[in-house]
Structure 1
Amino acid sequence: MNILSEKKLENAVVELEIEIPVERVEIEYKAVFHKIQKNAKVDGFRQGKAPVQVVENKYKEYAGNEVAENLVKSTFYDAVEKKELSPIVEPKIAYEMITREEPFKYKAVFEVMPSVELGEYTSLESEEKTCDITDADVETEIDSVRERSAKTNVVEDADAAVVKGNLVRFNLKRTDNVSAEEAALLDYKEYSIVVGKSKDDFTLDNHLMGMKKGEEKSVSIKYPEEYHIKDFAGQNVTYAVAVNEISTIELPAFDDEFAKKSNYESAEDMKIKTREYLEKFIKDRVTTEVKNDLIGKIVEKSTFDVPESMVLNEMYSIFKKTQQRVGYNAESIEQFAMVLGIDPEEYRIKLREDAVRSIKNTLVLTEIAKKEDIKAAEEKYQDIINNIAVQMGKTVEEIEGMIEQNQSRANIENDIILDSAMEVVYSKAKIKKLPAVSLEEFAKSRM
């Protein structure tokens, strides 16, 4: 076998041109014809008894295809090993012809694991934007738990008007100058909100205040330029609103009894642990944001290609995970996007962007792990197994059995390695802590 040429194309695609000597071709032809002869059905001869020359004439084209296939199988991976390449997909094979009288030449085009020219990762800078948790934040969080156990009482008085704190059930339909398709996406029946909970001045709350059951009216809302839904940002939108029902909300008292029903020891214990939960949530969120900023800077300074097959596989993986999270399985990306009420093409573009970002992050962290000689620590692996066992209500032995059956230990270990590589980057970064803001400001800045 001779490798005539190696071409590196775009997006981590490689083309090899390989030549196999005529002597090797002849050996393969003889082997294939011998196999065919054993079962060949030729007129005038018993099955398997036709002379080899007759078999060769009759099955010449069929044999040529099988010879070519066998030669490719037996030489391709030797060639990539010789060139120290790592294919990530099956190659596309092309050849002009095959004969017994000439060397066999073919071209193999395939994607490889891309090489990464790593950018600076040991002295990066980032900013930490966090918030302080106040007693009011803790109270608000506890109130949200109380609301889940609240009793609602329908207001029977026909003259009763909506006041702050009422649960209002209403119909909502967009009526301004938009297409029928767009209007259909904002035609809600039996929509419900608790009036007065929103602190924004552009919501429906102010318009619902004072309305009575059965009342209908047209309302106009001017959305701010920075509104997180881009189709509404800066727009003046008109809705038809019809109130169907008004209810008062009766929250359970916040006392030791309520706290115990919520799996706390006491009301004070619930306050303490709610604060701890909020502080941990913010800390984890901020740390994740800083890490995302750092890895983004490394990716920006690094050079590498992203193979198309990796992008498509990652898009599919993200798509399936999103379906599981939403709880709806669609047959296609287009169908799923329509159910979510978003443009299918925009959703496909976003999927692709997310997939490319994920792959780039993984490739960079993998390269850092190699440079830092990071291995999967056994204690971290055991911690993960123990956590999975607790979450699933199974024994560690049962989880280990499932992992062995699914052959997923390597995936877990790879995640540990990538996380450890990220920790190296994070630990070496210079992180400037900005003045803390309120929880409300913190949440708004991340919409």
Structure 2
Amino acid sequence: MQVTVETVSTLERRVKVVVPAAKIDQDVSARVAKAARTVRMDGFRPGKVPLSLVQKRFGESIRQEALGEIIRDSFYEAVTQQSLNPAGFPSIEEVSDKAGEDLSFTALVEVYPEIQLASFADISVERPVVEITDADIDEMIESLRKQRATFSASADAAADGDKVTIDFAGSIDGEAFDGGSAKGTELVLGSGRMIPGFETGIVGMKAGEEKDINVTFPSDYQAEHLRDKAAVFKITCHAVQKQQLPDVDAEFLKAFGVTEGGLEKFREDVRKNMTRELKQAVKNKVKAQVMDGLLASHEVAVPKALVANEINRQRQAMFQQFGGGAKLDPKMLPDELFAEQASRSVSLGLLISQIIKDQNLSVDADRVKAVISEVAESYETPEEVVNYYYGNRDQLAQVEAMVLEDQVVDAVLAAAKVVDQAARYLDVVRSARQ
């Protein structure tokens, strides 16, 4: 078999393969002989049909089937011989398969890029350092009280924390715009559901009052045509309900699973949960900076085939998120919607794989065990959770992949410029949720 490789672009290779006619004839003859043992034809017992008749009737279809498999096998033999690493399926451009002559075909294929890792010393990371104070715990308990708040009708003016029922109609330069109006909307003032200035503009209104408020859409608003636009909203307030927070009593504590130990035990549990969330928030913040640093310090040529696969994966994930699954038409979510993020994901995947290879990293079994144990702690029967993970290959593989990625982050941090920065608990956790 003869193989020649032409470099078409950074990642594309044109592979030309020539397979000797003798190999084709030998393969086809073997297939004809095999078919003759099972084929049925009138006038002949099974297995007694002459090869010449089998060749005459089925020879061409048998040859085409053989050629398909030979092309497939020869291509993979060729890329192995040439030490190519295909990043997707090949596109067969030319095939010459005349009887009695050598088979030749040309395949265009993308290969994985060769990545030379830059020094990690130029990557800068700010690592939040947080001490959870009693004041932070008080603030968290207050937040938990608000989550279980009740509301009662009031004739007083609306204040921060109150629930209002409103109609609103927005306009820009005197013209109404899509999505700018609604009736009977319930809104807790101070919740941050609406754009800046909207909720504060309602503070002070009473049931039955009307008022115009002036606001400006933020520059990062999801609807691009509304970004930085000044708007006027006509507000009609139908009802004001005052917020009533529950007491931190035995009933309140019981709702959070605390039946013994009282307030002290509750605060201890709150601190544990806050510590767990903080640890994850710091980890995510640091990891995001590491990944951004890797992308900024490397130019990665990404194979189009890998990006296309990642686009399809992200599209399907979005379908599943919204409950549509495969029932939704993929055209509803065009490739362009995912292209940038898909390219980023593929680039990071390639960089991470290269770091794993260069650093000779393998999954740390002790870290896997620690992660699973930490997850299990929040359940009533931790042992069952641990057994579930170790008894489920897919779930365990997900944890192992996460741990290996954490090890990559650690490898980068070992050489990067890491500055510890004092921060508040709430600031770190809120930024991680965004």
TM range (shorter): 0.7 to 0.9
What SS class does the counterpart of residue 174 from structure 1 fall into?
strand
TM-score by length of 2: 0.81
Paired residue type of 1:293: Q
Query: Percent of aligned positions with the same letter in both sequences?
Result: 22
* Residues 1:310 and 2:310 are matched in the alignment: no
In structure 1, the residue matched to 2:350 is 363
Question: For residues 401 and 60 of structure 2, what CA distance do their matches in structure 1 show?
Answer: 47
In structure 2, the residue matched to 1:340 is none
In structure 1, the residue matched to 2:328 is 331
* Residues 1:421 and 2:408 are matched in the alignment: yes
* Residues 1:262 and 2:256 are matched in the alignment: yes
Paired residue type of 1:382: K
Deviation at 1:191, TM superposition (A): 2.5
* Residues 1:375 and 2:365 are matched in the alignment: no
CA contact (8 A) 2:172 2:229 kept: no
Deviation at 1:39, TM superposition (A): 5.9
In structure 2, the residue matched to 1:294 is 290
In structure 2, the residue matched to 1:30 is 29
* Residues 1:242 and 2:241 are matched in the alignment: no
Deviation at 1:361, TM superposition (A): 1.8
Change (3 A) 1:251 1:211: same
Deviation at 1:242, TM superposition (A): 2.7
What SS class does the counterpart of residue 33 from structure 2 fall into?
helix
In structure 2, the residue matched to 1:338 is none
Deviation at 1:145, TM superposition (A): 0.7
Unaligned runs of 5+ in 2: none
CA contact (8 A) 1:150 1:251 kept: yes
Change (3 A) 1:241 1:431: same
Question: For residues 192 and 136 of structure 2, what CA distance do their matches in structure 1 show?
Answer: 15
In structure 1, the residue matched to 2:100 is 101
Deviation larger for 63-72 or 385-394? 385-394
Matches within 5 A, 1:29-108: 29-38=28-37, 51-108=50-107
Deviation at 1:354, TM superposition (A): 2.0
Paired residue type of 1:259: L
Matches within 5 A, 1:140-155: 140-155=139-154
Paired residue type of 1:31: A
Question: For residues 193 and 328 of structure 2, what CA distance do their matches in structure 1 show?
Answer: 40
Question: For residues 205 and 152 of structure 1, what CA distance do their matches in structure 2 show?
Answer: 18
Matches within 5 A, 1:399-414: 399-403=389-393, 406=394, 412-414=399-401
Paired residue type of 1:176: I
Question: For residues 384 and 198 of structure 1, what CA distance do their matches in structure 2 show?
Answer: 34
CA contact (8 A) 1:6 1:17 kept: yes
RMSD, matched Cα:
3.9
What SS class does the counterpart of residue 163 from structure 1 fall into?
coil
Paired residue type of 1:300: A
In structure 2, the residue matched to 1:14 is 13
What SS class does the counterpart of residue 97 from structure 2 fall into?
coil
Deviation at 1:105, TM superposition (A): 0.7
In structure 2, the residue matched to 1:2 is 2
CA contact (8 A) 2:88 2:306 kept: no
What SS class does the counterpart of residue 431 from structure 1 fall into?
strand
Deviation at 1:16, TM superposition (A): 1.7
Paired residue type of 1:2: Q
Paired residue type of 1:308: K
Change (3 A) 1:314 1:109: same
Matches within 5 A, 1:132-147: 136-147=135-146
CA contact (8 A) 1:161 1:212 kept: yes
CA contact (8 A) 1:119 1:299 kept: no
Question: For residues 380 and 168 of structure 1, what CA distance do their matches in structure 2 show?
Answer: 49
Question: For residues 441 and 49 of structure 1, what CA distance do their matches in structure 2 show?
Answer: 81
Paired residue type of 1:29: V
In structure 2, the residue matched to 1:341 is none
Paired residue type of 2:302: V
Question: For residues 130 and 40 of structure 1, what CA distance do their matches in structure 2 show?
Answer: 77
CA contact (8 A) 2:319 2:328 kept: no
* Residues 1:193 and 2:192 are matched in the alignment: no
What SS class does the counterpart of residue 172 from structure 2 fall into?
coil
Change (3 A) 1:303 1:179: same
CA contact (8 A) 1:257 1:266 kept: no
